[in-house]
């Protein structure tokens, strides 16, 4: 997940993105954004994996969500979420201006698959809104984890 977090961290206006959501990248469950946090952030949340092949190598598909988090108090929070979602897709799916389906060679050929985008449910009293882009990471691991 370090590569996914590193790509999310690149989301900064200074680097040509729409937002500065990469200034705060959280790993794990979606947190709440506090008063001292930036207005936009991303979170990388790992979900379950599924094994698709076993022999010399074990083939696995790991589901990861990259979440766009925006403080609900910003002007146009829904549009702000859409901008962060666009930035997430570009940061994760491209490398050096070219489509990258392997996360820089870490996955099998065409091993990065984009799933759907879902709206994050806003809990009562929550101070942020968001959406999550699902990715499936297809990779091979040596039998025995070596």
Spell out the domain ranges in the chain.
Answer: 2-142
In sequence order, the 6+-apart residues with CB closer than 8 A to the CB of 123 are none
For the chain, the C-alpha Rg in angstroms (whole number) is 16
Q: Is 61 exposed, middle or buried (0-12, 13-18, 19+ CB in 10 A)?
A: middle
pLDDT digits (tens, 9 = 90+) for 36-56: 899 999 999 999 899 988 988
Q: What is the pLDDT of residue 1?
A: 59
pLDDT digits (tens, 9 = 90+) for 77-128: 999 999 999 999 999 999 999 999 999 999 998 899 999 999 999 888 888 9
> Domain 2-142 adopts which CATH fold?
STM4215-like (3.30.2000)
- Give the closest residue to 71 by CA, choosing from 125, 33, 44, 117: 33
């Amino acid at each position: 997940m370090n590569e996914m977090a590193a790509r999310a961290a690149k989301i900064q206006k200074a680097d040509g993105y729409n937002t500065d959501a990469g200034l705060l990248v959280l790993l794990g469950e979606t947190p709440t954004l506090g008063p001292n946090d930036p207005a936009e952030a991303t979170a990388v949340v790992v979900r379950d994996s599924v094994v698709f092949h076993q022999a010399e190598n074990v083939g696995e598909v790991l589901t990861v969500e990259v979440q766009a988090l925006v403080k609900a108090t910003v002007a146009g929070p829904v549009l702000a979420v859409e901008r962060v979602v666009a930035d997430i897709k570009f940061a994760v799916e491209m490398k050096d201006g070219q489509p990258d389906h392997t996360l820089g060679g870490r996955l099998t050929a065409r091993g990065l698959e984009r799933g759907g985008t879902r709206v994050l449910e806003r809990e009562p009293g929550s101070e942020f809104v968001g959406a999550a882009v699902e990715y499936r990471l297809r990779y091979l691991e040596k039998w025995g984890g070596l």
